[in-house]
Amino acid sequence: MLKQQIKEAVNEALKLGDHVKSGTLRLLLASVITREKDKKYKEKIEGDAQLTDEEIIDTITSEIKKRRDAIVLYEQGKRPELAEKERKEIEVLQKYLPEQLTEDEIKKLAEESIGKVLAKEMRDMGKVMADLNPKIKGRAESSLVSKIGKNTYSNN
């Protein structure tokens, strides 16, 4: 299970004195625990609520997005040292995501989705993305997928 892998990685990082990795993974575990508590409350689960690996991947993706947003703000605020720290944290988090799709693979999947939902106009992009998202979840950045989907659509 992914949560257990992350816990073991925290312990290993602590033993090695890797403060960036241990700190980043501790924050990730805190986010996972928070989501588990939310899940328990929302679904009225007795005992402990456990996130699936897919839900943990969603949490990792969300944490990466937060850091990307922070990088932009740090660079605007002329704080490159903090932006670099965020980049290092993203590198740590990405190791716990499934293998990422290449642009060509995303483009191929987008073309398949366009054909499947019979998209004819740009306003059909919602249908395309609804079909495409489950196939690429956790394996590609959503902004990249959206950009490629729109470009693929406009080329068809």
Which fold, 2-94? Hypothetical Protein Yqey; Chain: A; domain1 (1.10.1510)
Kindly report the pTM of this predicted structure: 0.79
Per CATH, the number for 103-155 is 1.10.10.410
Amino acid at position 118, single letter: L
State pLDDT tens for residues 120-140: 777 778 888 888 888 887 788
pLDDT of residue 20: 96
pLDDT of residue 16: 96
For 136, list phi and psi in degrees, rounded to 5.
Answer: -115, 0
Mean pLDDT of 137-151: 75
Query: Rounded distance, CA 13 to CA 8, Å?
Result: 9
pLDDT tier at 3, thresholds 50, 70, 90: very high
Question: Which residue in 35, 92, 33 sits closest to 67, CA to CA?
Answer: 92
| Domain ranges within the chain, ordered by starting residue | 2-94, 103-155
Quick one: how far is CA 38 from the chain centroid? 19
State pLDDT tens for residues 35-84: 999 998 888 878 788 999 989 999 999 999 999 999 999 999 999 999 99
* Token code pair at residue 10: 């925290």
